[in-house]
Chains A and B, each alone.
Chain A
């Protein structure tokens, strides 16, 4: 005996709760692009928000070489790089983890594979840099490494989407 239940054939768009709605992707790009450009300039000391001056910030720990260190105290600091860094992370997270217009299980698989791939590449590059960058050079590597895993993921994910779109164009 075999029952065919008359259900709506459409797959109820995979109920993923861990992704942002699709329109957050656009917001993500608007945040990510300017803050990434300014952030890179800030890393190389070309740019900072001068009008912010030096703010008094609470620090769990701050090592002010060559002065002493502060534990659970206040430090003076221009917070341009903090603001830009946080905006970069928020922007990249929104771009990376907002749903596609049409999210389905195939897209979910591409997303998962891209994330694994990005993690491998990110740490492979980090291992390489550990061996070939030293002192302040390595500090720069660490600064960029905070963001590269998301960057590699975004590149890989869109590349795979693009490739699966292209392989389709000659199919009817």
Chain B
């Protein structure tokens, strides 16, 4: 699974730290999601979608290998 969290974060001009604080997770979690090392839970994905005001499909995409 891929995501464009980093892009969305850049558009909003917000750091990983700040985003993590807003959503209520660790900065490691945000960092690992951006590096495609961690697939967030549905709850976390929905929280992110709400924060960026985008649908989950606009933030996360399936890959060939999924």
Contact = CB atoms under 8 A, between A and B. Distances in A.
Are the chains A and B members of one assembly?
yes
Interface of A: 4, 7, 9-13, 102, 104-107, 109, 161, 164-165, 167-168, 171-172
Nearest to A101: B26
Given A104-B29, A105-B40, A9 B24 contact: yes
B22 interface: yes
Contacts of A12: 24
Contacts of A109: 38
A164 B29 CA distance: 9
Interface residues of B, number: 22
A171 B31 contact: yes
Contacts of B4: none
Interface of B: 15-16, 22-29, 31-32, 34-35, 38, 40-41, 43-44, 47, 50-51
Contact of A106 (B29, B43, B50): B29
Contact of B47 (A11, A107, A171): A11
Contact of B26 (A4, A9, A10, A107): A107
Contacts of B34: 171
14 contacts: A9-B47, A11-B25, A11-B47, A12-B24, A13-B24, A102-B25, A104-B25, A105-B40, A106-B29, A106-B32, A107-B29, A164-B32, A168-B28, A171-B31
B5 to A, nearest CB: 12
A170 to B, nearest CB: 10
Nearest to B35: A167
Contacts of B51: 9
A110 B38 CA distance: 10
B26 A102 contact: yes
A11 B26 CA distance: 11
By CB atoms of chain B within 10 A, which of A10, A106, A109, A172 has the most?
A106
